[in-house]
Structure 1
Amino acid sequence: MMNSYLSQMVPQQAEKYGNKIALKYRDYDTDSWISVTWNQFANKVRQVSNALIALGIKEQENIGIFSQNKPESLYLDFGAFADRVVTVPLYATSSETQVHYILEDAEIRFLFVGEQYQYDTAYHVCSQCKGLRQIIIFDPSVTLAPEDNTSIYFDAFLEKGGSGAFQEEVNRRTAASSSDDLANILYTSGTTGDSKGVMLCHSNYETAFKINKIRLVDLSDKDVVMSFLPFTHIFERAWSYFCLGQGCVLCINLRPHDIQKTIKEIRPTAMCSVPRFWEKVYAGAQEKINETKGLAKAMMLDALRTGKKYNIDYRMNGKKPPLFLAMKYKFYDRTIFNLLKKTIGIENGNFFPTAGAAIPEKVEEFVHSVGINMVAGYGLTESTATVSCDWKNDFRIGGVGRVLSGVELKIGDNNEILLRGGTITKGYYKKEAITKAVFTDDGWFRTGDAGYMKDGFLYLTDRIKDLFKTSNGKYIAPQAIETKLVVDRYIDQISVIADQRKYVSALIVPDYPLVEKYAREHHIAYTDLKDLLEKPEIQELFRMRIDVLQQQFAHYEQIKRFTLLPQPFSMERGELTNTLKIKRAVLLKNYAKEIERMYED
C-alpha cells in the first residue's frame, strides 16, 4: 500500500521549491502581505506534527479546527496528515449549538480556534463537552476568560514540538500512512436538520487530484491563487490542496468581506468562488451601464453584444469567428473588458472555478462575453468536490461541464444523479443507517440532485428533496425560480414559498441602497425602510420586474404575491447555513405571519 500523498506533500514541495513563496497572508496590524516560503511552510508543518504527538494525540484521532482561513489551518492540516491524524474543520461562523454538536459527535479532545469569536464560542460550550480537554488559539491577541487556565496559544503549542524530540515517531507514522487512512470529517451545512460528518479518506483526495490534473492542465507554479471560500468547504479545501501540489502561490483571504479589497492587492490568476461573487460583478456592471449615457453607453452595449457573438455564438460552439468580429472583439478586450477586469482585480486571470449553487444564465453569459474564463462545475462534499466542470471554450451556458474521467455518473429514478468512483465518500461518521440509505445496492451514491446529460454536458434541473408540491398537485422547483429572479439588480435575496400552498409566493430581500436611490429619483417620501417597502410605487416596481423575469415559467410556477422584507436573511437568526444556503424551514417559522398574509383572500 502506498503512503498517503498529503502526509508528505509539503516537505517534498520544499525540497523542490526551497525558498520560493508558497503562501501569502494579510497582516492587518501592518496592512501588508506576509510571504511564507516552502522551507518555512515545511518547518511549521514539522513543528506541528511533533507538537501533536507531544499532546498525546493518537493515530486516526480526530482534532477540531474552528477558524477562518489562516495559514495556521494549513500548517495544522499537513502536520496532522504526517501523523495520520484526522482534521475536522468547523465553519468560523458556527453557533454554540453547532460547535457543541460537532465536538461531541466527532469525540474531539483538542480544538484549535482562530480569533476571539471562535474562542469565546468554544469556551462557552467546553464545559458541556465530555471529551474536550484543551483549546489552542491561533491569534495571540485573543483575550482569555479570567477563569480559563487550560487554553494555550499556538506559539506555546509549537514549542512543544520545536526541538523535534518526536520526529522519529512522526517519521514512523508517515511511513505507516496509507491511502485508506481517514483524512477529514467534513460536516455538511445542514439545511434539513443535524449536520452529517462526511468521511473523506486520503484516497478520495488522491483520486480527485489525479483526475483534475487531466482537465486543469493550465494550472502551474506560475499561478497566483486567491483563497477566498472557507477552507471548511470541500470546494476550497480540495482546490487549495491541489493548487499547493501544483506549486502555486496560495494567497489566503482572512476576512470574506474584504475580498473586493484583497483581490485588487493580489490580482490573482485563479480563484474558486460561488455564483454570488459573479452575481455582484454582474449587478455592478449593469448599474454602471444604467448610469452611463450617450456614446459611452452605446459602446458598452456593443461591446457586450460583440463579446457574446465572439465567445458564445462562435467559440463556445467550436466555430472560428469571422475576421471583422475577431478584430472588433480584440479592440473591446483591450479597452472596455480590460478596464472591467482591472476594476475587479482579475486582469491577470487564467481561470475561475465556480460552483456551490446554480449560476443564473444571464450572469454566466455576461462573464463569458467579457472574456473571463469562468469554469462552472458541479460537485458535493461526498464526491470530494468536482464531479463535472467546464473548460476554456468548452462549456455550455446553463450546463455544469463534462463529467471528469474517473467519475462514473448515471441518471436514475426521478432523474436523480447517481455517482460511483474513487472520489466518493465511504459514508457518514457514526451514521450507518443514513450511509446505507444513501447508497444503492450496487454501490451508486444518491446525490439528491436531478439532472440530465446532453451532448456530453451535464445539466442540473433541481434538488429532488427541495421540490414543492402545491395544494393543486403541481410540482414547483423553487431554486429554478430563485436563480432566475436573483439576477435582478433590485433583488438581493429571495426565497420561494409554495409547498402545500394554492399558489407560489416569495419572501424578497431588496437591494436597499438601490430602492432608496429609486425613491429619491422618483420623489417618494417615506419615514423608514419598512414604510418605503410598503409604498405602492415600490410594490409596483417589484411586481413589474418579477413579471418580466418569470415569463418563461408556466402559469402555476409564477409568483403571485410577494413580501419585501426590511431586514436580510441572517445566520444569527438561523435562516442561513454557514455556506449561505437558505434554511427554508427556519424562514417558514420566522416569517409565518408574513407568509400567512400572502395567502389571505
Structure 2
Amino acid sequence: MASAPRVGGLADAVFDHALEDPVRVVLGRKLDGVWQDVTSAEFRDEVLALAKGLLAQGVRFGDRVAIMCRTRYEWTLFDFALWTVGAQVVPVYPTSSAEQVFWMLHDAQVSAAMVEHEDHAMTIGSVVDRLPQLRRLWQLDGDAVRELSEAGRDLDDEVVHRHRRAVTPDSVATVIYTSGTTGRPKGCVLTHANFMFEVDTLVERWEPVFRGRRGDEPSTLLFLPLAHVFGRMVQVAAVRARVKFGHQPSLNAAALIPDFAAFRPTFILAVPYIFEKVFNAARRKADREGKAGAFDKAVEAAVRYADAMEAKAFGTGPGPSTALRMQHQVFDKLVYAKVRDAMGGRVRHAMSGGSAMDRRLGLFFAGAGVQVFEGYGLTESTAAATANPPERTRYGTVGQAIPGTTVHIAEDGEVWLRGGHVFQGYLNDPKATDATLHDGWLATGDLGSLDDDGYLTITGRKKEILVTSGGKSVSPAQLEERVRDHPLVAQCIVVGNDRPYIAALVTLDAEAVEHWLSMRNKPPMPPGDLVRDPDLETEVRRAVVAANTLVSQAESIRTFRILAHQFTEEHGLLTPSLKLKRKAIEQVYADEVEALYHT
C-alpha cells in the first residue's frame, strides 16, 4: 500500500525527474496540428520560468489562483508552476456562467486568474466589479506564458525553490467546486497529501495499466476536463509515475479519434460515454458495410469469452471452451483489432469512472482486448475510492476499496468512505462539512451494496429517490442506464415524484439517428417530425421495455416522450461532468412532464 510522503508537495516530482532523467519524454504537446515531445528537463525549465513570473507578478504562498480553460498543455504547466510557489489552484469549467464564476472566485477569495481566451476574460470582466480581491488576469491566447516568463527572468531560481521547499503534504493544493446538480457549488479543499496518496496507490496497485507492456512506453491521452477531479488525478498520476501524456480539449469523437491514431496511447482513463461512442461508431461502420450480423456475433463472442474468463478468475467456472477460444481468435483479427485501432491500436487497459458502465459493455471491451477497470469516487475523495483489481475484475460493479481505504454501508444504504484521499472539508462552509464528514468518514450521498467479496455496486443517489403518490420508492438510475443502452438514445430522465406512476423523457443521439434513417432509406427529418416517427417510437419503446424487465410493475416506466433536442450544459441542464440536473430539466420541460400524466 502506498503511503503519502511526509515532506514535499506535488511539484517536487517535476524537479526530481528532471534531475534523474533529463532526456526522458514526459509530455506530448500539439503545435500546429503536430505532436511534439517534451522532455522532463524542458518541462522543468518551463515550470520554473513560469513560477518565477508568477512570483514577480505578485502571487504569494497560499494565494488562490483560478484557472478557466479547456484541457490543454498550459493548464498542466500552470498547475505545477502554482504548486511550485505554494499557491492553491481553483479550477473553473470553461463553460461556467458569469454568476457561477462570480460565486467561485468570490467564495475562494481568488487573487488572480488565468483564462484561455477573450470570451472567458469577458465573462470574468462582467463580474469583476464585485471581485475587489481579484488583482491579476492573464489570458493564454494573449501570450500569457511568454509574458509571465519574461517578467520573472531576473528572479533568482533559489527564490522559487524556497517557496517549493515550504510546501508540505498538508498544504492545500486545490479547491475544486462540486458540479452542483442541486444548489450552489461547494469548494472541496484537497491537499497535496490527498493527491499523493490517491495517485501513488492507484499507480502501485494498477501497475499493469500505468507501466504498460514490455517494450511499450506507457502513455495516455488526457481528454477529461481538468476542472474535474478525475482529469486532475490523471494528470498528477502521469507526472508522478513518469507516464507520457498529451492533452485533447474535446470529448467529441470526431476530434478524439484522429488524436488516438496520432498519439497512440497505451491506456486511457475516461467516462463510460467514451466507450459507448467507440462501440456505437464501430457498430454503425459495420452496418454501413453490410457486416452488422458478423459484428453482432463478434460482440456476443467477446461477451461470452470475457464472462467465462471472469468466472475462472473467481473460481466459479473453467474458462472459455476450446470452441469459444477459436471463435474469439477469428473475431480478434476481423473485428476486435479494428475496435482497438479506433483507440490508436496500443490501448490494452482503461479505467472508467464518473458514472456507471453497463456490465455488457465492459465485458465486450474485455473480450475485445481492452480491459476496462471501473471505479467509483467523488471530488471529496480525490477521485477513485474503489476500483476493480486487475486480476479479478467483476464487471457491473465499481470494484473493491483501493488499498488504504475502507468502505462502509450505513443503515440507510448510504456509502461511507475513509482513507488518506478524503478531503479536508468544504471551504467557508462548516455546516456542510459537519453534515458530510463524521469522525473521518465521508458520507457520499450515494446508495450502494457490498457483496461477499467486498465489491461495491452503486444503486442510486439518496436525493434522487422518487416516491410515487402511491408511496412506491424508485431509484431512477438503473432504469435510465438501461434505456440509454439503446444506440438511438442519448439521454433519459425518469420522473414520477408524487405522481401516480413512473414516466420518462428521452433524447436522441443525432449520429445514430442519421445512420438509422439512411439504413432505412428514410429522408432526413426536422426534429419536430422525427420525434413523431412511428418506427422511431417503436425503437425507443423497445429500450423502455428492456429497462422495465429490471424492476417490478409498480416501478416500471409506463409512458415516455421523445424530445426534439438533447439536454445540454449550455442550457443549464447538465453539469460539466455530464450529469443530469433533474430539477432544472423538470422545470424547463414542465409542460412535457405534465402531458405524460394527461394522455
Pick the TM interval, shorter chain.
Answer: over 0.9
Q: Hey, what does 2:388 align to over in structure 1?
A: 390
Letter in 2 for 1:481: L
Q: Hey, what does 1:149 align to over in structure 2?
A: none
In 2: Cα distance, 1:397 partner to 1:73 partner: 34
In 1: Cα distance, 2:515 partner to 2:296 partner: 23
Q: Hey, what does 1:200 align to over in structure 2?
A: 190
CA drift of 1:316 comes to 4.8
- Give 1:13's match in structure 2, choosing from 14, 17, 20: 17
CA drift of 1:530 comes to 0.3
Alpha-carbon contact 2:88-2:175 (below 8 Å) kept: yes
Letter in 2 for 1:102: M
Letter in 2 for 1:587: I
Alpha-carbon contact 1:226-1:250 (below 8 Å) kept: yes
Asked whether 1:444 is paired with 2:445, we answer: no
Q: Residues 513 and 19 of structure 1: is their aligned pair in 2 closer, same or farther, counting only changes over 3 Å?
A: closer
Alpha-carbon contact 1:307-1:370 (below 8 Å) kept: yes
- Give 2:147's match in structure 1, choosing from 151, 156, 169: 156
Alpha-carbon contact 1:503-1:560 (below 8 Å) kept: yes
Asked whether 1:106 is paired with 2:108, we answer: yes
Alpha-carbon contact 1:54-1:166 (below 8 Å) kept: no
CA drift of 1:167 comes to 2.7
In 1: Cα distance, 2:201 partner to 2:521 partner: 58
Per-residue CA deviation, residues 68-119 of structure 1 (Å, 9 max, x unaligned), is 1122211211112121111111112111111111110111111001123322
Q: Residues 457 and 332 of structure 1: is their aligned pair in 2 closer, same or farther, counting only changes over 3 Å?
A: same
Per-residue CA deviation, residues 138-195 of structure 1 (Å, 9 max, x unaligned), is 1237xxxxxxxxxxx33212212123x1433322222222111000101110101111
Q: Secondary structure at the match of 2:207?
A: coil
Question: What's the RMSD between the two structures over aligned residues?
Answer: 2.1
Per-residue CA deviation, residues 42-82 of structure 1 (Å, 9 max, x unaligned), is 01111122122212222111111111112221121111212
CA drift of 1:325 comes to 3.5
CA drift of 1:19 comes to 2.1
Q: Hey, what does 1:339 align to over in structure 2?
A: 338
- Give 1:575's match in structure 2, choosing from 573, 576, 583: 573
Give ranges in structure 2 of 5+ residues lacking alignment. none
CA drift of 1:587 comes to 0.6
Q: Hey, what does 1:285 align to over in structure 2?
A: 282
CA drift of 1:517 comes to 5.4
In 1: Cα distance, 2:248 partner to 2:516 partner: 34
Q: Residues 338 and 515 of structure 1: is their aligned pair in 2 closer, same or farther, counting only changes over 3 Å?
A: closer
In 1: Cα distance, 2:311 partner to 2:226 partner: 32
Asked whether 1:183 is paired with 2:180, we answer: no
**Greater alpha carbon shift after TM alignment, 119-128 vs 3-12:** 119-128
Q: Secondary structure at the match of 1:139?
A: helix
Letter in 1 for 2:236: Y
Alpha-carbon contact 1:470-1:499 (below 8 Å) kept: yes
In 1: Cα distance, 2:326 partner to 2:538 partner: 44
Letter in 2 for 1:220: R
Listed as ranges, the matches of 1:14-163 within 5 Å are 14-27=18-31, 30-140=32-142, 153-163=144-154
Q: Hey, what does 1:466 align to over in structure 2?
A: 464
Alpha-carbon contact 1:66-1:114 (below 8 Å) kept: yes
Alpha-carbon contact 2:310-2:394 (below 8 Å) kept: no
CA drift of 1:254 comes to 2.7
Length-normalised TM-score, structure 2: 0.92
Q: Residues 68 and 5 of structure 1: is their aligned pair in 2 closer, same or farther, counting only changes over 3 Å?
A: same
Give ranges in structure 1 of 5+ residues lacking alignment. 142-152
Q: Secondary structure at the match of 1:509?
A: strand
Alpha-carbon contact 2:263-2:344 (below 8 Å) kept: no
Per-residue CA deviation, residues 476-514 of structure 1 (Å, 9 max, x unaligned), is 111111111111011111111111111111111112454
In 1: Cα distance, 2:516 partner to 2:256 partner: 28
Per-residue CA deviation, residues 255-278 of structure 1 (Å, 9 max, x unaligned), is 333212211221211111000111
In 1: Cα distance, 2:525 partner to 2:202 partner: 55
Q: Secondary structure at the match of 2:503?
A: strand
In 2: Cα distance, 1:65 partner to 1:422 partner: 26
Alpha-carbon contact 2:270-2:351 (below 8 Å) kept: yes
CA drift of 1:228 comes to 0.8
In 1: Cα distance, 2:45 partner to 2:185 partner: 35
Q: Residues 85 and 305 of structure 1: is their aligned pair in 2 closer, same or farther, counting only changes over 3 Å?
A: same
Q: Secondary structure at the match of 1:127?
A: helix
In 2: Cα distance, 1:392 partner to 1:316 partner: 14
In 1: Cα distance, 2:518 partner to 2:226 partner: 42
**Greater alpha carbon shift after TM alignment, 442-451 vs 424-433:** 442-451
**Greater alpha carbon shift after TM alignment, 248-257 vs 300-309:** 300-309
Q: Secondary structure at the match of 1:414?
A: coil
Asked whether 1:252 is paired with 2:242, we answer: no
Q: Secondary structure at the match of 1:576?
A: coil
In 2: Cα distance, 1:239 partner to 1:515 partner: 34
CA drift of 1:374 comes to 0.8
Listed as ranges, the matches of 1:417-432 within 5 Å are 417-432=415-430
In 1: Cα distance, 2:512 partner to 2:137 partner: 44
Q: Secondary structure at the match of 2:279?
A: helix
In 2: Cα distance, 1:7 partner to 1:519 partner: 52
Letter in 2 for 1:178: T
The aligned length equals 583
Q: Hey, what does 1:144 align to over in structure 2?
A: none
In 2: Cα distance, 1:247 partner to 1:396 partner: 29
Q: Residues 535 and 69 of structure 1: is their aligned pair in 2 closer, same or farther, counting only changes over 3 Å?
A: closer
Letter in 2 for 1:599: Y
**Greater alpha carbon shift after TM alignment, 350-359 vs 276-285:** 276-285
Letter in 1 for 2:497: D
Q: Secondary structure at the match of 2:134?
A: coil
Alpha-carbon contact 1:7-1:177 (below 8 Å) kept: no
Length-normalised TM-score, structure 1: 0.92
Letter in 2 for 1:13: H
